[in-house]
């Protein structure tokens, strides 16, 4: 696992390093897929000795490719040169008199020059491009390892084809690997099998900032296409995130307003219920006031005084059975308003002799507050107890 802190939204987070070997029988691939996550690089899968059909099945087309090409038509030569020397000069050191426009030329570490005919490499690249793959970088031979040499602990590094000598953080020499030798290589703490070393180093090179080891219009165009795709993807994700956040904010605002509305509705319902109760009590109060007015008992009244005087004058020979203030005029009906006989007191009672009844009636008539007294009913039962009903007006 290798750690990095730099962030570039347009760079891929997942890369397939591909060792591409151009053989007589076709293309052969060794693949290592690396992913950058939380600032760390992880090897998530690797495949070896894939033909083109297997490559299509194993490698996701959404993962860009960093290719290290070798095999038929690719030449490597150990020769010293300076960084200032032009491509034509480097090509002349390998193939004197060759046409610069017909070859891709790569110089590595001031000591190694690699060349390949353009049509050979373009044919392989176009075959992959026609399948929908994107390219983000390329190198010739095993020399992508030079860019990660400072992360390698071993002095000798074997790839699937070559044995490389590492000295002072760069490739010092290379040769064909001896048959039967198998070495694992530690790169940045990851133990990598020799068949995956070059593909791993190719993918890791991209994360280190190196995209191409030689000039190619094809690769420049391919990288631009991938960057445009990344822009579209990042922009699309940004738009989705924006609308998601907007919807989330709208939901939170709506939820808050809904909660507030529910609280206000509950408060309104409570106040409405209290208002209805208040209105009911107000109507009951008005009805009682109206009833008091009808009964003539509003304001200061002497009814209690009148009743007290009546009771004080009742002789022992008379027994009162009922006394009603402001009696009902008519029989009460559900659909009719109750009518009261106001300013009247109805007295009912019993007495053994009418003389006591008459004397008492006369006494009541003399009271200064009594305006009139009338007999509503009287039943004389001779030797039995008589019954009477009197009506006083005041």
Do 46 and 33 form a contact (C-beta atoms < 8 A)?
Answer: yes
pLDDT tops 70 at residue 10: no
Q: Which helix (H) or strand (E) holds 215?
A: none
Which range scores top for mean pLDDT: 7-11, 86-90, 337-341? 86-90
- Six token digits for residue 76: 């490597």
What is the pLDDT averaged over residues 41-57?
95
- Tell me, yes or no, whether 77 and 96 share the same domain: yes
Count of structural domains within the chain: 3
- Pairwise pLDDT comparison (294 vs 110), residue with the higher score: 110
- Tell me, yes or no, whether 211 and 225 share the same domain: no
DSSP 160: S
- Tell me, yes or no, whether 262 and 315 share the same domain: no
- Tell me, yes or no, whether 97 and 204 share the same domain: yes
- Tell me, yes or no, whether 146 and 234 share the same domain: no
Out of 169, 195, 215, pick the residue that ends a domain: 215
The structure's pTM equals: 0.60
- Directed axis angle between helix 217-295 and helix 118-130, to 10°? 20
- Euclidean distance between CA atoms 131 and 155, whole angstroms: 39
- Euclidean distance between CA atoms 265 and 107, whole angstroms: 79
370 is in which domain, residue-wise?
A: 303-393
Sequence-separated (6 or more) residues with CB below 8 Å from residue 140: 68, 69, 70, 74, 76, 104, 106, 114, 115, 116, 213, 214
Do 114 and 143 form a contact (C-beta atoms < 8 A)?
Answer: yes
DSSP 178: P
- Tell me, yes or no, whether 329 and 234 share the same domain: no
pLDDT at 295: 60
Neighbours of 289 (CB within 10 A): 11
Q: Phi, psi (5° rounding) for residue 18? A: -125, 120
Do 169 and 146 form a contact (C-beta atoms < 8 A)?
Answer: no
Which range scores top for mean pLDDT: 73-77, 274-278, 308-312? 73-77
- Tell me, yes or no, whether 104 and 207 share the same domain: yes
pLDDT tops 70 at residue 229: no
Out of 215, 244, 265, pick the residue that ends a domain: 215
pLDDT tops 90 at residue 260: no
The CATH number given to whatever domain includes residue 378 is: 3.30.1360.100
pLDDT at 352: 83
pLDDT at 373: 93
| Mean model confidence pLDDT for the chain | 87
- Tell me, yes or no, whether 80 and 199 share the same domain: yes
pLDDT at 4: 47
- Tell me, yes or no, whether 89 and 115 share the same domain: yes
| Segment 102-152, tens digit of pLDDT | 999 999 999 999 999 999 999 999 999 999 999 999 999 999 999 999 999
- Euclidean distance between CA atoms 277 and 148, whole angstroms: 86
Out of 295, 315, 341, pick the residue that ends a domain: 295
- Tell me, yes or no, whether 65 and 153 share the same domain: yes
Q: How confident is the model at residue 216 (pLDDT cuts 50, 70, 90)?
A: confident
- Tell me, yes or no, whether 171 and 242 share the same domain: no
Q: How confident is the model at residue 360 (pLDDT cuts 50, 70, 90)?
A: very high
- Pairwise pLDDT comparison (123 vs 354), residue with the higher score: 123
- Euclidean distance between CA atoms 206 and 43, whole angstroms: 14
């Amino acid at each position: 696992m290798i750690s990095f802190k730099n962030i570039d939204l347009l760079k891929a987070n997942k890369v397939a390093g591909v060792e591409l070997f151009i053989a007589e029988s076709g293309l052969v691939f060794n693949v290592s897929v690396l992913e950058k996550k939380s600032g760390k690089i992880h090897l998530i899968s690797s495949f070896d000795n894939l033909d083109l059909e297997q490559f299509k099945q194993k490698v996701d087309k959404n993962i860009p490719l960093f290719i290290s090409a070798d095999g038929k038509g690719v030449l490597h030569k150990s020769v010293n040169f300076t960084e200032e020397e032009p491509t034509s000069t480097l090509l002349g050191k390998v193939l004197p008199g060759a046409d610069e426009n017909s070859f891709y030329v790569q110089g590595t570490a001031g000591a190694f020059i690699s060349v390949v005919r353009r049509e050979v490499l373009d044919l392989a690249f176009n075959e992959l491009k026609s399948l929908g793959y994107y390219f983000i970088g390329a190198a010739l031979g095993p020399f992508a390892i030079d860019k990660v040499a400072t992360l390698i602990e071993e002095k000798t590094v074997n790839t699937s084809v070559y044995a490389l000598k590492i000295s002072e953080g760069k490739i010092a020499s290379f040769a064909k690997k001896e048959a039967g030798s198998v070495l694992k290589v530690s790169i940045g703490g990851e133990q990598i099998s020799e068949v995956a070393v070059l593909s791993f180093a190719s993918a890791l090179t991209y994360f280190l900032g190196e995209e191409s080891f030689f000039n190619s219009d094809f690769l420049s165009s391919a990288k631009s296409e991938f960057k445009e795709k990344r822009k579209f993807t990042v922009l699309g994700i940004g738009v989705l995130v924006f609308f998601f956040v907007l919807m989330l904010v709208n939901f939170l605002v709506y939820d808050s307003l809904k909660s507030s509305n529910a609280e206000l509705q509950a408060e309104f319902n409570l106040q409405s219920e209290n208002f209805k109760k208040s209105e009911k009590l107000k109507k009951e109060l008005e009805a009682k006031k109206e009833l008091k007015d009808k009964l003539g008992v509003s304001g200061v009244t002497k009814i209690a005084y009148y009743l007290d005087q009546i009771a004080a004058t009742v002789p022992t020979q008379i027994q009162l059975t009922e006394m009603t203030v402001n009696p009902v005029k008519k029989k009460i009906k559900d659909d009719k308003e109750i009518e009261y006989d106001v300013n009247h007191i109805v007295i009912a009672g019993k007495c053994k002799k009418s003389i006591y009844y008459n004397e008492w009636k006369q006494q009541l008539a003399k009271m200064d507050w009594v305006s009139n007294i009338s007999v509503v009913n009287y039943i004389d039962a001779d030797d039995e107890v008589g019954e009477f009903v009197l009506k006083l007006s005041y």
